[in-house]
Amino acid sequence: MVGEGSGRNRQVVWKDQKQMRTGYTTGSCAAAAAKAAVCMLLSEEPVHHVSLMTPKGVRLYLDVEDIETGRDYVSCGVRKDSGDDPDVTDGVLVCARVSRCRGDAISLDGGTGVGRITKNGLEQPVGAAAINKAPRRMIIEAVEEQRRKYGCTDGIAVVISVPDGDELAKKTFNPRLGIKGGISVLGTSGIVEPMSEKALTDTIYLEMKVLKENGHEWCYVVPGNYGSDFLTGTLGYDGSLAVKCSNYIGETIDDAVRIGMKGILLVGHIGKLVKLAAGVMNTHSRQADCRMEVFAAHAALAGAGRDTVRKLMECVTTAEAVDILKGSGLLWPVMQTVMDRIDYHIRQRAGKKLAVGAVVFSMEEGILGSTPSAAKVLDQIRKGIR
């Protein structure tokens, strides 16, 4: 690790040929704050820096802020650093208030700014504070370490709070997941990996699992805001039954199978979903950009001449390609064979346990095509709403 101030928590990783700093999770902040607070409670001495070993095996050295002491309690905070990850919780203060309590157990709860679970399907039961399993273990272990150090057998009550958590939660997936009143205290490794694909796919999995656990075995899947807006604004479908999958269409289909969903309907812009016709299931441009190759090949199948195929291959946007196909009278026959291939590849990925359909649109033309099973899946989603 490379030192930087009192933090000394700087590791670097390479993403897309760029060197990026790692950070540490809200779970690490909560555990470190709890450790510092218990140390001050039992030693009656101020603590301004605390070390914490994360589940990943990386030791953190963190500054302690906002120290408050009373006759029978200590409260303090540790500020999160997300490194180079674009995280809305970067810089948030995570606080722990600890006090002695009856018995010899360690109790843990969430306070201001920590969300409460209101739906089934999440790690914690309905009514519990949204502090995930790994952070809970880290907090309990940190408190127990200090009890052993000072020979304390008293019970310790720990309350984790995030002063800005309620407002920050509005910028996260928490409202969709049924977590109310604040953010979640998260992190399995204790370390934030910049631009982590696993963090994104874990969120997709969790959002779909919540739908399943709350009685919805059929749902929509949209890559992003274009798909979401078209789903609700143009088609008038229920956006609360849509999972955003970003570029991870293949992983989302896999998750649907793993969770036991009965069917999903992909609704997406031609610029994303045309890649599925070539079997490309991660639609990020760094993985593959076969859009014009797909259009050109299917145009040739429909009888396009060399000049039309060349123009298609020279296009930069799918809007240009759609205009060329429309002007040549080939848009609908091309979209028919494109949808046939999309249908083939998504059904191959889904297997026999999951019904899967797709609807493809453009902003200019509206719906460009749908797979044969799209209408059946849509009907099942609508039946689940009634």
Dump pLDDT digits (tens) for 260-275.
999 999 999 999 999 9
Same domain for 117 and 36:
yes
Q: How much is the mean pLDDT over the chain?
A: 90
Q: What is the pLDDT of residues 116-148, one digit of tens each?
A: 999 888 889 999 999 999 999 999 999 999 999
pLDDT of the residue at 151: 95
pLDDT band at 385; cut points 50, 70, 90: low
pLDDT band at 8; cut points 50, 70, 90: low
Tokens linked to 160: 């984790």
Distant-in-sequence, close-in-space partners of 157: CB < 8 Å, separation ≥ 6: 98, 99, 100, 101, 106, 107, 109
pTM of the complete model:
0.71
Distance set, CA 288 to CA 175, 247, 255, 291, 292 (Å): 33, 11, 22, 9, 11
pLDDT of the residue at 294: 97
Same domain for 201 and 188:
no
Distant-in-sequence, close-in-space partners of 316: CB < 8 Å, separation ≥ 6: none
pLDDT surpasses 90 at 386: no
Lowest mean pLDDT among 239-243, 285-289, 296-300: 285-289
Angle between helices 318-327 and 306-313 (to 10 degrees): 160
Same domain for 351 and 216:
yes
pLDDT surpasses 60 at 19: no
User: At residue 147, what is the residue type?
Assistant: R
pLDDT surpasses 80 at 283: yes
- Which range of residues forms the domain containing residue 185? 12-192
Decide if 1 is inside a domain.
Answer: no
Decide if 297 is inside a domain.
Answer: yes
pLDDT band at 194; cut points 50, 70, 90: low
SS (H, E, C) 23-50: EECHHHHHHHHHHHHHHHHHHCCCCCEE
Decide if 3 is inside a domain.
Answer: no
Same domain for 249 and 214:
yes
pLDDT of the residue at 309: 97
Decide if 7 is inside a domain.
Answer: no
pLDDT of the residue at 71: 86
CATH of the domain at 155: 3.30.2110.10
Averaged over 12-38, what is the pLDDT?
Answer: 79
Same domain for 170 and 100:
yes
pLDDT of the residue at 175: 87
End-of-domain residue from the set 165, 192, 219: 192
User: For residues 93 and 77, is the Cβ–Cβ distance under 8 A?
Assistant: yes
Same domain for 37 and 173:
yes
pLDDT surpasses 70 at 15: no
Q: How far apart are CA 225 and CA 359, in angstroms?
A: 15
pLDDT band at 98; cut points 50, 70, 90: very high
Q: What is the pLDDT of residues 339-377, one digit of tens each?
A: 999 999 999 999 999 999 999 999 999 999 999 999 999
Same domain for 205 and 156:
no
Distance set, CA 347 to CA 156, 264, 302 (Å): 54, 11, 24
Higher pLDDT among residues 87 and 305, named by residue: 305
Q: What is the pLDDT of residues 221-273, one digit of tens each?
A: 999 888 999 999 999 999 999 999 989 999 999 999 999 999 999 999 999 99
Residues in the chain: 386
Same domain for 223 and 182:
no
Q: What percent of the chain has pLDDT over 90?
A: 77
Same domain for 325 and 241:
yes
End-of-domain residue from the set 192, 223, 256: 192
pLDDT band at 285; cut points 50, 70, 90: confident
Same domain for 211 and 183:
no
Lowest mean pLDDT among 149-158, 198-207, 230-239, 291-300: 198-207
Same domain for 224 and 134:
no
Structural domain count of the chain: 2
Same domain for 163 and 119:
yes
DSSP assigned state of 193: P
End-of-domain residue from the set 192, 224, 250: 192
pLDDT of the residue at 7: 42
pLDDT of the residue at 139: 97
